[in-house]
Amino acid sequence: MTKLPVFHEKKELVTPGDLLAEGEYTAGENTYKEDAKIYATRVGLVDYTAREVFVIALKAFYVPKFGDTVIGKVTEVTTGSWMVDINAPHPAMLRASDVLDRPFRSRKSDLPSLFDVGDLLIAKIVAYDRTRPPLLTVREPGLGKIVRGQLVEITPTKIPRAIGRQGSMVNAIKKETGCQITIGQNGMILINGKTPEDEQLAIMAIRKVEEEAHTSGLTDRVTEMLRKEKESDKNTDEEEE
């Protein structure tokens, strides 16, 4: 049985409600199917495989997913848990039992001493169904309170671009700036460099990725930009001496 054609070229810009395809395709990300017709739900670039039609959204907020690493801010401390803002429609919860090794006993433990309102932390999502707040853990290595570094926020849809294929983009930035970079799936990126200038370079690179995420050859352009910036920095340093 032949499939009916799609109505747009690959990587064409579509808006909510645009008819993308008819027939035996699966409705992928940012699309929905009604009466064997597939429509877009967000503004973005349409793309398709032999079986699936999907849209790479231009802008979308973060929806929690099991296993995602996220960076959040503590907004509330209760008797048994912390509420954490992870830039999603629902705030996430970190249970005291996750952080303390022994069974939790109220009044004996002082939760604010571990994480207080306003603290930033890196965590992983261990549970999420739509009826309850997403559950976080900080038990794994690399997770926990953030004590130093700079935070950059980009729209969550561009995080995959910031990571790159098998980490190509983030590794390129790490190499050129010498910074440690932790990427949260919720659009928050933590940068830790040896000097503030290095961190600034990394931030510049990330901003560039965010603006030009939909273009090709970006990894090379970012690397080139970083090298040029470092050269000009070196020249100004030499002039000052």
Partner 1 sequence: MIRIPTKKKSKKSTRKTDTRVDGRKLNELRPVKIEVGVLANADGSAYLEQGKNKVLAAVYGPKEVHPKHLAQPDRSIIRCRYHMAPFSVDERKHPAPSRREVELSKVIREALEPAVFLEYYPQTSIDVFIEILQADGGTRCAGITTAALALADAGIPMRDLVAACAAGKVDGRLVLDLVDVEDKNGEADVPVAFLPNLEAITLLQMDGNLTVEEFEQVVNLATEGCKQLYALQKKALEEKYVTVSEEVEEE
Is residue 32 involved in binding partner 1 (CB under 8 A)?
yes
> CA 178, 58, 71: angle at the middle one, nearest 5?
45
Q: Which of 59, 65, 50 is closest to 214 using CA atoms?
A: 59
Nearest to 223 by CA among 172, 180, 189, 183: 172
**13 contacts partner 1 (rule: CB under 8 A):** yes
Q: Is 110 helix (H, G, I), strand (E, B) or coil?
A: coil
> Would you count residue 230 as binding partner 1 (CB under 8 A)?
no
| Whole-angstrom distance, CA of residue 39 vs CA of residue 136 | 34
Q: Decide: is 41 part of the binding site for partner 1 (CB under 8 A).
A: yes
CA atoms of 49 and 45, how far apart (whole Å)? 14
Q: How far is the CB of 44 from partner 1 (least distance, A)?
A: 9
Contact 127, 92 (CB under 8 A): no
Which amino acid, 139?
R
Instruction: Name the residue type at position 186.
Output: N
Coil, strand or helix: which one is 75? strand
Instruction: Choose between 13 and 126: whose C-beta lies nearer to partner 1.
Output: 13
Q: Does 58 bind partner 1 (CB under 8 A)?
A: yes
Minimum CB distance to partner 1 smaller for 182 or for 219: 219
Site track 118-157 with partner 1 (rule: CB under 8 A), x = hit: ------------xx-----------------------x-x
Interface stretch with partner 1, choices 105-113, 137-145, 213-221, 233-241 (CB under 8 A): 213-221
Question: What CA–CA distances, in Å, run from 188 to 69, 126, 159?
Answer: 10, 18, 9
Is there binding between residue 188 and partner 1 (CB under 8 A)? no
Q: Are 13 and 59 in contact (CB under 8 A)?
A: no
Among 3, 24, 51, 61, binds partner 1 (CB under 8 A): 61
* Beta carbon nearer to partner 1, 224 or 231: 224
Please identify, using beta-carbon distances, which residue of 208 and 230 lies nearer to partner 1.
208
Encoded tokens for 203: 């931030």
For the CB of residue 17, give the shortest distance to partner 1 in the complex, in Å.
Answer: 3
Does position 204 interact with partner 1 (CB under 8 A)? The reply is no
Whole-number Å distance between alpha carbons of 61 and 87: 8
Instruction: Report if residue 17 touches partner 1, rule: CB under 8 A.
Output: yes
Site string (83-102) toward partner 1, x via CB under 8 A: ------xxx-----------
Interface segment toward partner 1; rule CB under 8 A; list 16-24, 99-107, 138-146, 228-236: 16-24
Tell me which DSSP letter residue 6 carries. B
Residues near partner 1 (CB under 8 A) are 13, 15-19, 30, 32, 39, 41-43, 57-61, 89-91, 130-131, 155, 157, 211-212, 214-215, 221
